[in-house]
Chains A and B, each alone.
Chain A
């Protein structure tokens, strides 16, 4: 069983290293196939481990010691329990599909081999993050996915916008990582160990203040990775990377790391329900916030990115209110249909030669039926219509909000559900239905390769049926996670809630379909000049605010420090020391000038020094008594 764990963990790394050998070479198909095969092996191991764990056997290995220094002992330990095996499954499944898809998507790219190396490295880091049994290992994986996402977002490094976006992502994550590190430090300082079992067993014994701070700081780390407000701007800009990257990282894996952290640390958050409520509120706010921005955007990938942001908000609402298994469930279903959406968008972009503006598309279903069907399925799942997967998970979250009498949260999420349905169908309508605007721009789209569609098919299937496994899922996961009980009142309200939610979703769909069928867009030109439209279109001007208020002053401060302090003071000091030594050398070079007169003068200098020493030495007692009254 342990060998399965190691296979699952290290197969991606082997794939990455193998592909790295071909890193600088021209495209070699073997890299794509080998890495996909290795990730598939990892997936198979995860499945076998799933069955193993469901029998009740948790696999916990300690590979070796990493740091043993005094009281600090951090091993490389890995644990496969119910929670991590679900994450492993999700990660490896989506990764396998993305790898196979990328063989087709990146076929004309010069950096083909490099891409697979980075992609597998990313999967490896994510596996480390998910399978680790202590906070330090988690952090290693955390940093690893940050690094790999930087590599992947900035994959087309000659594009200035891509490198900028990669830096933005990495730096924002870094800011959040500071919070996470402080949280980890607090945990170690107060509990003496970073192992999950030790920490969670003893967390109850700490003062509530300490636990609150730990919770806050760990959540700050989660905020960066899962792009909660205010560290959210990087997610939309990260669409600069290739679409498979967006599918893997920004739908299924990296951004869910934050949710995973909160779920894993549920015993910490169970003690601090106020922080949990704050997390939930923030999540609801982000859900609404992102959905509004997605309403008006014309970039196909950005709309899907904002949708991810919105759904992450949903997950945090669930986690914040204590329904951890529900958050995990939504994480899983969301991974499926969101990855499917991204891959579909990738197909569209590939057909339209990387064009992103949906206004330039239209009626593509006539050419790309397969992709259209897949994206339609994914959008329906996203909107939360029965019997698709999104319905089960989203509905449960709404019930949770209602259950705790958090009506404002419920209301926010309810409206957001409607908005979600609207914008996802708006995209589908504008891209696949309506008049064929692309012809005006001279595009000649074609369907993607058959094997790419076949790779996407499992995701579509899961997006449809995964919801029916809800009950088994709950039973499986709540062996580790706490259950969430609904009050009697809520139980009665459940049918009503379902009706209401489905109602608004259908309303959203209806509006989208009608407006796009008949009017080419809900937003006429006059509406486009409306203030609110502008606000939403520019992402509430937040990136601009960040740029003006934070980036520019910081850049100026850095320049100031560089020019005034570093150059003038530090460099001057170091140079000054060097100059002093150099000039001393220059001066005393005269000692060896070869001029007898000069050298004799130096002799006399030495002579006088020696004389002074001699006199001082012989009269040292009297001199000392003269100075300080010291007697021998």
Chain B
């Protein structure tokens, strides 16, 4: 009961938020809606007994990624409304609707087999974070380390790229 209500509530909210992100003309509104959508998604994770994932979602996405986007938005001149030429919306909607319908068809057909055995089964009684930790640091150790290195590299790359010519005012620079 609780689950049903929560599911439908969150799903409607998420859909609305993401629609605002996609269709809004103002960059600020879009980003704000995106942040809201992230939060609601973490709600889903909590519903699905993936506590750790939900927390990570809030921290990483809503915290770090949105913050990055916010800074980027400040950097680009977004006081004006985003200028976008009228593209062919009809075709887009057609394509997307078609694909959505087909995918939904694909997913509603009973395709999941019952013979799938869990590779890393959830241990009852242990909290989700602990469970995740146990698997992550034993079975997935190498991907974890590699991901860490990748994040480091990304961070350094971001700093270097964004840090060029930081001292000059961008609006005063000529086109190179």
Interfacial residues, chain A to chain B (CB-CB below 8 A): 597, 601, 604-605, 607-608, 611-612, 614-615, 618-619
B95 adjacent to A615 (CB under 8 Å): no
Number of interface residues of B (CB under 8 A): 13
B111 adjacent to A618 (CB under 8 Å): yes
A615 adjacent to B91 (CB under 8 Å): no
Partner of A615, one of B87, B92, B96, B106: B106
* Chain A nearest CB, measured from B82 CB (Å): 14
Q: Which residues of B contact A612 (CB under 8 A)?
A: 102
A601 adjacent to B92 (CB under 8 Å): yes
Q: Which residues of A contact B106 (CB under 8 A)?
A: 611, 614-615, 618
Q: CA of A608 to CA of B103 in the docked complex: distance in angstroms? A: 9
With A597-B87, A618-B111 in contact, is A605–B103 under 8 Å at CB?
A: no
Q: Is B105 part of the binding interface, using a Cβ–Cβ cutoff of 8 Å?
A: yes
Those 5 A-B pairs whose CB atoms lie nearest each other, nearest first: A608-B99, A611-B102, A604-B95, A608-B98, A615-B106
Partner of B103, one of A597, A611, A619: A611
B102 adjacent to A608 (CB under 8 Å): yes
Interface CB pairs A-B, < 8 A, 14 = A601-B91, A601-B95, A604-B96, A604-B99, A608-B95, A608-B98, A608-B99, A608-B102, A611-B106, A614-B106, A615-B102, A615-B105, A615-B109, A618-B109
Q: CA of A619 to CA of B96 in the docked complex: distance in angstroms? A: 22
Q: Which of B77-112 contact A (CB under 8 A)?
A: 87, 91-92, 95-96, 98-99, 102-103, 105-106, 109, 111
Q: Which residues of B contact A619 (CB under 8 A)?
A: 109
* Chain A nearest CB, measured from B83 CB (Å): 14
Q: Which residues of A contact B105 (CB under 8 A)?
A: 615
* Chain B nearest CB, measured from A569 CB (Å): 36
A interface majority secondary structure: helix
* Chain A nearest CB, measured from B142 CB (Å): 32
Q: CA of A607 to CA of B95 in the docked complex: distance in angstroms? A: 9
Q: CA of A308 to CA of B135 in the docked complex: distance in angstroms? A: 115
Q: Which residues of A contact B92 (CB under 8 A)?
A: 601
Q: Which residues of B contact A607 (CB under 8 A)?
A: 99
Q: CA of A569 to CA of B53 in the docked complex: distance in angstroms? A: 69
Q: Which residues of B contact A604 (CB under 8 A)?
A: 95-96, 99
Chain B residue with Cβ nearest A605 = B95
Q: Which residues of A contact B96 (CB under 8 A)?
A: 604
Q: CA of A608 to CA of B99 in the docked complex: distance in angstroms? A: 5
Q: CA of A607 to CA of B99 in the docked complex: distance in angstroms? A: 8
Q: CA of A608 to CA of B97 in the docked complex: distance in angstroms? A: 10
Q: CA of A68 to CA of B84 in the docked complex: distance in angstroms? A: 78
Q: Which of B96-154 contact A (CB under 8 A)?
A: 96, 98-99, 102-103, 105-106, 109, 111
Q: Which residues of A contact B102 (CB under 8 A)?
A: 608, 611-612, 615
Chain A residue with Cβ nearest B99 = A608
Q: Which residues of B contact A614 (CB under 8 A)?
A: 106
* Chain A nearest CB, measured from B97 CB (Å): 10
Q: CA of A604 to CA of B96 in the docked complex: distance in angstroms? A: 8
Chain A residue with Cβ nearest B103 = A611
Q: CA of A601 to CA of B105 in the docked complex: distance in angstroms? A: 22
Q: CA of A601 to CA of B92 in the docked complex: distance in angstroms? A: 7
* Chain A nearest CB, measured from B88 CB (Å): 8
* Chain B nearest CB, measured from A535 CB (Å): 81
Chain A residue with Cβ nearest B109 = A619
Chain A residue with Cβ nearest B98 = A608
Chain B residue with Cβ nearest A611 = B102
Chain B residue with Cβ nearest A597 = B87
Q: Which residues of A contact B99 (CB under 8 A)?
A: 604, 607-608, 611
Q: Which residues of B contact A615 (CB under 8 A)?
A: 102, 105-106, 109
Q: CA of A612 to CA of B104 in the docked complex: distance in angstroms? A: 11
Chain B residue with Cβ nearest A604 = B95
Q: CA of A601 to CA of B93 in the docked complex: distance in angstroms? A: 11
Q: CA of A616 to CA of B92 in the docked complex: distance in angstroms? A: 23
Q: Which residues of B contact A611 (CB under 8 A)?
A: 99, 102-103, 106
Q: CA of A608 to CA of B109 in the docked complex: distance in angstroms? A: 17
Which residue of A604, A607, A608, A614 has the most chain B CB atoms within 10 A of its CB atom? A608
Q: CA of A618 to CA of B99 in the docked complex: distance in angstroms? A: 16
* Chain A nearest CB, measured from B60 CB (Å): 26
> Beyond the given A601-B91, A611-B103, A619-B109, could you list 5 further A-B residue pairs with CB under 8 A, ordered by the A residue number?
A601-B92, A604-B99, A608-B95, A611-B102, A614-B106
Chain A residue with Cβ nearest B88 = A601
Q: CA of A266 to CA of B96 in the docked complex: distance in angstroms? A: 87
Chain A residue with Cβ nearest B92 = A601
* Chain A nearest CB, measured from B75 CB (Å): 21
* Chain A nearest CB, measured from B92 CB (Å): 7
* Chain A nearest CB, measured from B57 CB (Å): 26
Chain A residue with Cβ nearest B107 = A615
Q: Which residues of B contact A597 (CB under 8 A)?
A: 87
Q: CA of A321 to CA of B105 in the docked complex: distance in angstroms? A: 93
Indicate with 1 or 0, residue by residue over B30-70, a CB within 8 angstroms of chain A CB atoms. 00000000000000000000000000000000000000000
* Chain B nearest CB, measured from A505 CB (Å): 99
Q: CA of A614 to CA of B109 in the docked complex: distance in angstroms? A: 12
* Chain B nearest CB, measured from A611 CB (Å): 4
Q: Which residues of B contact A618 (CB under 8 A)?
A: 106, 109, 111
